[in-house]
Chain A
Amino acid sequence: MNAPQTLNFMPSEGFRARSKAVVENPFLRKSFRGAMDFLTAKRAAQFPDVEELESLRTLGERIRQYNLAKLPELLERLEINLTRNGIKVHWAETPDEANAIILGICKAHAAKLMVKGKSMVSEEIELNHAAEAAGIGALESDMGEYIVQLAGEKPSHIIMPAIHKTKEEIARLFAEKVPGVAYTDNVDELIQIGRQVLREKFREADIGLSGVNFAIAETGTLCLVENEGNGRMSTTVPPVHIAVTGIEKIVEKLEHVPPLYSLLTRSATGQNISTYFNMISGPRKPVEKDGPTEVHLVLLDNGRTQAYADDQLRKTLQCIRCGACMNHCPVYARIGGHAYGTTYPGPIGKIVSPHMLGLEATATLPTASSLCGACGEVCPVKIPIPDLLMRLREESFSAPRANPAMRGQGAGYNATISAIWRAWAAVYRSPRLYRLATWLGSRFNGLTPSRQGGWTSVRVPLKPAPKRLRDLVKERQ
């Protein structure tokens, strides 16, 4: 197995270089575009009725906001009810703490192999890396995750981790990395190869690890949405199941789940419903013949309480991780997921990563948006992503202040840029100065520079017209 590639802890650095490299690669450009077109069309087919979509989105938003408003209380109730059901609850403030808890459970069982269902939080904490370092094998069992793990890469999409790979690349990868496999680019055959390898590993594994889509406080139930059955295998075959999730994934009531579940599958993969929906309410009972004998839940903070503390930033936590924002994002479609350098790419990644990694490391990301609004338009729980991007820009570019709402506030502060904006405001708030400035611009438009930074890299220079509209209006009076 390859040592997993580690996260870039300064995703801001090199962002432009990484995005440039993809943008200049016509093959990747075409392949991302094709994949995103496919996903957006599938979602669109699921929502033929605009009114139904709008009322469902409003419902989704209300459910998420209701539950976030009660979050502290719900977390307590969740712990009580999970404990009553025999599930052990652990709290982790940081990725290191989460890894220590998970690896501690592994060590207590002398575990050698952990088989993993799909979990973005396990990517967020870089569990595979930590497990490897502790001498514990961590094998991804979701097909997409398995592919990126074989390739020594990170997922490039939160729902379709290997969306950046073509079937030919996967065929070569399997032939090279899976013992005894001949090259085939038949997709069904490739899937069968993967399934056979993994089937054996489910039996061998000491630990099954999974994520959580919804944690229901009133019943003490963990819900897991998946399509491949590997989630069910990971959570039922190995003797110990460890689930890991962010503290925001909670809902109070069972009845909150169906609308969110429907929004999730329809927005994410354009499915009416997923192939599997697992509800985990405890370990194997004495009378039962199968299931794990121990179930653990690790609840991770990792910056979520920082977002929670601010009314506007809290909306970030409404996310149900469907990935529709990235599928519809013209920036994501151009640069793919890896360019972002964060666990969560795309629009949601730009608004959630600064809480996890701090603005020092992520200040560039919120600037990489034209604020076109496509993400906010499709978000099933109506997260106002463009507004949050503007807020993050402000948090980043403003002068460092006491008691900031975010770690790294002021990281992008530049005294010169701030002075330029102050000067801009001084001119544009004063009709007299504005008239003077625009008069000079038009009068001396022949002096307009021919190189205008990034603008003229692919555009002709901007040049003021010889007469302003106000001049033309005056002339005709």
Chain B
Amino acid sequence: MSDAPPGRQRPTDVYFFATCVVDQFFPGAGLDAITLLERQGIRVHFPEEQTCCGQPAYTSGFPDEARKVAAHQLTLFPNDWPVVVPSGSCAGMMKHHYPTLFAGDPARLVLAEELSGRIYELTQFLVEVLNFKPQDAGSACTVVLHTSCSARREMGVYLTGRKLLDDLAQVNVAQQDHESECCGFGGTFSVKQPEISGAMVEDKVAALKATGAERVVSADCGCLMNILGHAAWKDRQEGRAIPSLPGEHIATFLLRRTTKESAR
């Protein structure tokens, strides 16, 4: 097990904020993230009352509705433990937008600002706080990493996912064209502007496939829903039974790679 970087105390307990997308659509990724944290000797607390960070309403232009939902999440993390979020996008909402959202509500603003200081995106927490160096137990493979725009630009953590993959001795990380470009998800954007969003995800999937990687991994399930959803649609259109671009959350990939074959 690794030690915390100097100057930062290694926590014994964390809260896990799963996000609504992981809770309902990618529960396996959430469980794998929890297991990954527990294997580092961390007690993971899953507040049963958690729902959603409020981002869908916030980015759609309904801040009052977002505020109501966010206000509920503010009550879930009474101890001063870090809050680990397996999504750069939802982490960005809680870290950067909660203080803006509650600017006019002094009591909640205090809570929001305090919470903001202990929000971590999963890969950021693994690398920056736990100094986690995964030991590769798998065979050689090539993957491609998609980093969400929020992780990259809002959380500034695009290097941590990459570092975790680079630490895996048998894993080759392919480089896609236009790596930093958005996959076209954007929440309600994908439904309101399906043509533009569709063109963006089409190009993204083509760029990921062009690397020849056998799978795509990402630390954001919103992007994965979009990317894998389009790849599967294209497979259907073109009559392929085997997925041309399988993919999974980076937590699932990391857990599998660091689990010995015999233990699986």
Contacts and interface: CB of A to CB of B under 8 A. Distances in A.
Interface of A: 16, 19-20, 23-24, 29, 330-331, 334-335, 366-374, 376-377, 390, 392-398, 418, 421-422, 424-425, 428-431, 434, 438, 441-442, 452-460, 462-465, 467-473, 476
Interface of B: 18, 20, 22-28, 30-31, 34, 46, 48-52, 54, 56-66, 68-69, 71-72, 149-150, 152-154, 180-182, 184-202, 225-226, 229-230, 232-233, 236
A422 B65 contact: yes
A367 B46 contact: no
Contacts of A438: 20, 23-24
Given A429-B71, A469-B31, A462 B25 contact: yes
B120 to A, nearest CB: 18
Given A367-B189, A367-B193, A465 B57 contact: no
Given A16-B195, A428-B69, A469-B27, 14 more contacts: A330-B182, A331-B193, A368-B193, A370-B197, A374-B180, A390-B59, A424-B65, A452-B191, A453-B194, A458-B233, A462-B225, A462-B229, A465-B25, A471-B27
Taking each of B25, B69, B196, which has the highest tally of chain A beta carbons within 10 Å of its own beta carbon? B196
A370 B194 CA distance: 11
Nearest to A467: B27
B110 to A, nearest CB: 20
A458 B229 CA distance: 8
Given A367-B193, A459-B233, A431 B51 contact: yes
Contacts of A428: 20, 51-52, 54, 69, 72
Nearest to B23: A469
Contact of A473 (B34, B56, B181): B34
A430 B71 CA distance: 11
A369 B186 contact: yes
A37 to B, nearest CB: 8
Taking each of B25, B154, B195, which has the highest tally of chain A beta carbons within 10 Å of its own beta carbon? B195
A206 B56 CA distance: 56
Nearest to A18: B195
A469 B86 CA distance: 12
A396 B61 contact: yes
A387 B190 CA distance: 18
Contacts of B190: 370, 454-455
A390 B97 CA distance: 12
A434 B62 contact: no
A422 B181 CA distance: 33
A417 to B, nearest CB: 9
A29 B197 CA distance: 14
Given A390-B58, A424-B56, A458-B201, A367 B23 contact: no
A469 B18 contact: yes
30 contacts: A16-B193, A29-B199, A330-B200, A331-B200, A334-B199, A368-B192, A370-B197, A371-B59, A371-B186, A371-B189, A372-B182, A374-B180, A390-B58, A429-B68, A429-B71, A431-B48, A431-B51, A434-B51, A438-B24, A454-B198, A455-B191, A455-B194, A456-B233, A458-B233, A465-B24, A465-B27, A468-B24, A469-B31, A470-B18, A472-B28
